[in-house]
Amino acid sequence: MSRRLSALAERLDAPLLVTNLTNVFYLTGFESSNAALLVDPDGTATLYTDFRYIESARDVPGVQVQPAKRGLMQDVGERLQGSVQFEADVLPYGEWERLKAGGAKLVPTHGLVDEVRAVKDDEEIAKLRRSATIADRGLEALTAETWIGRSERELAWRLRELLHAHGADELSFDSIVASGENGAKPHGHPTDKIVERGTLVTVDWGVRVDGYCSDCTRTFSTGRLPDRLREAYDVCLEAQQRACANIKAGLTGVEADALARDPITDAGFGENFGHGLGHGVGLAIHEAPRLSTESTDTLVAGQCVTIEPGIYLPGVGGVRIEDLAIVRDDGVELLTSFPKELIEVS
């Protein structure tokens, strides 16, 4: 039995039907568009998939393979008996109805596989580190080029090319390039807006390598800044560095968030930092745990998290500074190495 299946089985008091395809991949290494995995409390695992993937499924070690119809939930539901747990956060209602029609007693669960996925092993951390390094090198190459006079969309496309050139399998999400007042939109999309002199440009980017994501943000200047924007940058940088220096295993997500939020609030920018400090990263770009005012998580050594405070000034501009980090017992190991001091691009 694999370590991952064993760790999940220890959390079960009834069989769990795993339908999140990323979770199926995490637990078995099996990748498809139509699969489900039944894991028993003793660690026995049964993999269901249809004809298109059945031969690949038979190559998966440590699981029993059952061919199923393409309408997976209805077919699997007819085979289940007794109490069966399911992933309530990911199973669509229509699929739940088909599963329930089989007669098993369905018990909703939340985050059981996520808890296992949140703590990365050495192999996963090595992949995350490589992903972050490739992302760093791609952005570094972009900073050697001219930005002023090019559109946000053009810069985002050029960054994509450079990231692939440096070894990315794919982007972990569509890169954000936001200049001037567009920087006040935390998740804005690149537009045809031309990057102008004397403002801030926020770049949020990441790549996927061997299945694992990176996520980083840096904000650049294009010349002398208005005093308000320069102040926002300095405050955000100080808050981000404070969080990086003090986050460690044992802190709650709320306590970690406060490390950056408190100095931003004290500087008068509290209302301009409206999102959480960070989130987990791994096979998905957003995973457990959460670092925010609403978090119910406690940090554990081996988790991979972002540390990304931001200050957003509507109609003026914005700044966000984000590192990818591994939580350790005595602090964090930063996977991102790109400089955080304000860099001017031309």
Question: Mind listing the pLDDT tens digit for each residue in 12-28?
Answer: 999 999 999 999 999 99
Confidence of residue 240 (pLDDT cuts 50, 70, 90): very high
- CA–CA separation, 74 vs 69, rounded Å? 8
The rounded Cα 55 to chain-centroid distance in angstroms is 31
* Long-range contacts of the stretch 59-67 (C-beta < 8 A, 24+): 60/28, 60/29, 60/30, 62/1, 62/2, 62/5, 62/28, 63/28, 63/30, 63/37
Residues 135 and 259 in one domain: yes
State pLDDT tens for residues 39-89: 999 999 999 999 999 999 999 999 999 999 999 999 999 999 999 999 999
Residue 147 placed within a domain: yes
Which of 62, 86, 116 is the last residue before a domain boundary?
116
Residue 92 placed within a domain: yes
Residue 341 placed within a domain: no
Residues 274 and 260 in one domain: yes
Specify the CATH number for the domain of residue 23.
Answer: 3.40.350.10
Residue 345 placed within a domain: no
- Report how many domains make up the chain: 2
Residues 245 and 190 in one domain: yes
Q: Report, as an integer, the average pLDDT of 250-258.
A: 98
Q: Report, as an integer, the average pLDDT of 206-222.
A: 98
Taken in order 143, 145, 151, 154, the sign of the CA dihedral is: negative
Residues 108 and 126 in one domain: no
Which of 116, 132, 157 is the last residue before a domain boundary?
116
Residue identified by tokens 């990231």 is 163
Which of 116, 134, 158 is the last residue before a domain boundary?
116
Residues 128 and 260 in one domain: yes
Average pLDDT, rounded, for the chain:
97
**pLDDT of the residue at 315:** 96
Domain residues for 84? Answer: 3-116
State pLDDT tens for residues 285-313: 999 999 999 999 999 999 999 999 999 99
Residues 155 and 66 in one domain: no
**pLDDT of the residue at 75:** 97
**pLDDT of the residue at 1:** 59
Residue 17 placed within a domain: yes
Residues 92 and 202 in one domain: no
**pLDDT of the residue at 28:** 97
**pLDDT of the residue at 241:** 98
